Structure 1
Amino acid sequence: MKKVFTIALLFFSYFPALTAKADEDIARVIKLSPEKITQHNVDLPLNQFRALEILADKNVSSHQVPRPYTMPDTTDHTKLFGSDLNDNGIRDDYERMLLKSYQRSEYVAMGILAAERWDKLLRLLHSQEQIKTRFQALELFNDNIAINQCYYSLQKVDKKLISPVLSYFNNDQLLEAKYQAELLLLDIIGNDQANFTFHQQPCERFADFAKSAIKGKLAAL
């Protein structure tokens, strides 16, 4: 139990410990430009073509932004995933935030790919069908760390960039669900907690996520 608690603390507060590491990785992840850094000239792990491909697949467009919607009182508010009126697998309020906050399609696509991992984490509370092995649990654990570490690295260059994590987990219920799901993930990992490895180039995981998404789409055809 002590080991689980220690690793849990590591998962929730790894940023300070990885600050130096993130600084080292910036040069390898982001190509700096003599121009003033903005959302438009930070080098990202997804190119525009791949980002637009993801947005098209998910039917995400500024022309189809889900309108704010007040749920009726009869709605089951215990549901974690919120409303998805345009039925594209992305919570409406989160989708609106992505389109409003990020000027580049690459950032929007990264937010979508990150949300897929967070969805997978929350689904653990209802079913362990997708996470049956310690390897799968370790992979999801490390992917969640890589996502946050990547945004942290990008924020060192693009000072105005805001990670979407708190826009996804944007209320006490979701934050508590995240915490409980992480504990469950650690329980599945069990004694393999000693085998945690952090991605040397965390932003490159987004490129891997994109490849997996495209492969999944092709396999479904």
Structure 2
Amino acid sequence: MKKVFTLSLLFFSYFSASTAKADEDIPRVIKLSPKKITQHNVDLPLNQFRALEILAEKNVSSHQVPRPYTMPDTAVHGELFGSDINANGIRDDYERMLLKSYQRSEYVAMGILAAERWDKLLRLLHSQEQIKTSFQALELFNDNMAINQCYYSLQKVDISLISPVLSYFNNEQLLDAKYQAELLLLDIIGNDQANFTFHQKPCERFADFAKSVKKGKLAAL
């Protein structure tokens, strides 16, 4: 059990800092031409054009950010995925955080792609239809490891970058659900735990995630 507990903590062991709460009223507009990042300082897994395509497909725009309004608390009603007013598959409070915290479209797109894997992890608590085999469980585990490693490596160069992980798992219910889902994932993996992968180029997984997103027209950001 100690081994399982230790392994389950690997998902987010790279990050301990929490994100600062963004202003609730005025969304920060994503800049199309922020200070240039090159291969010599930060090696981003997505270019700006591909990032904007992802935002367009997901209907994510700083001009259409879901407005906060009074509603039952997530933890009280046991809803792990919260509200999604604009029905784009992204939890509203998390979507607002991405648009207000990151001026780069690349970072917003990365946050969306990461959340899709975290959603998949939490859905294990309701159904194992998507994760039935140890291979599928290992793939999800390794994907989450790669997400953590990628943000960690980018933070070494871009000191302003903050991982969105604690903004996604932002209350005790979600943190406990993450822990329980990780234990379930490890249980499915079983004796294949020796096949855990530490990617040499973890950010490349974001490029792989992006390939599964249907290309659409650019959003008006």
TM-score (normalised: structure 2): 0.82
2: CA distance between counterparts of 1:105 and 1:165? 17
CA–CA distance in 2 between the matches of 1:215 and 1:110? Answer: 15
Map 1:1-221 onto structure 2 (within 5 A): 1-13=1-13, 42-72=42-72, 77-214=77-214
Measured after TM superposition, the shift of residue 194 of structure 1 is 1.1
Question: How far does residue 37 in structure 1 lie from its aligned partner after superposition?
Answer: 7.2
Q: Does the CA contact (< 8 Å) of 1:94 and 1:167 recur in 2?
A: yes
Higher relative contact order (CA 8 A, sep 6+): 2
Higher helix share: 1
C-alpha contact (below 8 Å) 1:31/1:43 kept by paired residues: no
What's the CA shift for 1:213? 2.1
- Cα 1:32–1:25 change in 2 (3 A) is farther
How many residues end up aligned between the 2 structures?
A: 221
**What SS is found at the alignment partner of 2:88?**
coil
Deviation at 1:139, TM superposition (A): 0.5
In structure 1, runs of 5+ residues without a counterpart are: none
Deviates more, 1:35-44 or 1:145-154: 35-44
Q: CA deviation at 1:58?
A: 0.5
Residue 7 of structure 1, CA deviation: 2.5
The verdict on how the C-alpha distance between 1:59 and 1:12 changes in structure 2, with shifts beyond 3 A counting, is closer
CA distance in 1, matches of 2:114, 2:136: 17
Separation in 1, partners of 2:160, 2:135? 36
- In 2 relative to 1, CA 202–21 (structure 1 residues): closer, same or farther, beyond 3 Å? farther
| 2:24 alignment partner, SS class | helix
- Following superposition, the deviation at residue 24 of structure 1 comes to 38
CA distance in 2, matches of 1:193, 1:83: 35
CA contact (8 A) 1:39 1:103 kept: no
Q: How large is the Cα RMSD of the aligned pairs?
A: 8.4
Work out whether residues 29 and 203 of structure 1, in 8 Å CA contact, stay in contact via their aligned partners in 2.
Answer: no
Residues 50 and 19 (structure 1), Cα distance of their counterparts in 2 relative to 1, 3 Å cut = closer
Query: Shift in Å at residue 214 of structure 1?
Result: 2.9
1:21 is displaced (CA, Å) by: 31
Query: Distance in 1 between the 2:26 and 2:45 partners?
Result: 12
Pick closer, same or farther for the CA change 1:39–1:26 going to 2, 3 Å: farther
Deviation of 1:162 after TM superposition, in Å, equals 0.6
1:31 and 1:42 in contact (8 A); partners too: no
Give the CA deviation at 1:76. 6.5
Cα distance change, pair 107–81 in 1 and its aligned pair in 2 (3 A): same
How far off is 1:42 after superposition?
3.4
Q: For each residue in 1:129-160, what CA deviation from the matched residue of structure 2 results, as whole angstroms up to 9, or x when unmatched?
A: 00011000000001111101110111100111
**What are the Cα deviations for residues 7-44 of structure 1, in whole angstroms up to 9, with x where unaligned?**
23444536799999999999999999999979997331
Contact 2:121 2:182 in 1 (8 A): yes
Contact 1:38-1:158 at 8 Å conserved across structures: no
Tell whether the 8 Å contact from 2:146 to 2:198 is kept in structure 1 after alignment: yes
Distance 1:179 1:52 in 2: 33
2:25 match: secondary structure: helix
Distance 1:7 1:103, change over 3 A: same
Give the TM-score, by structure 1 length: 0.82
- Report the Cα offset of residue 206 of structure 1: 0.3
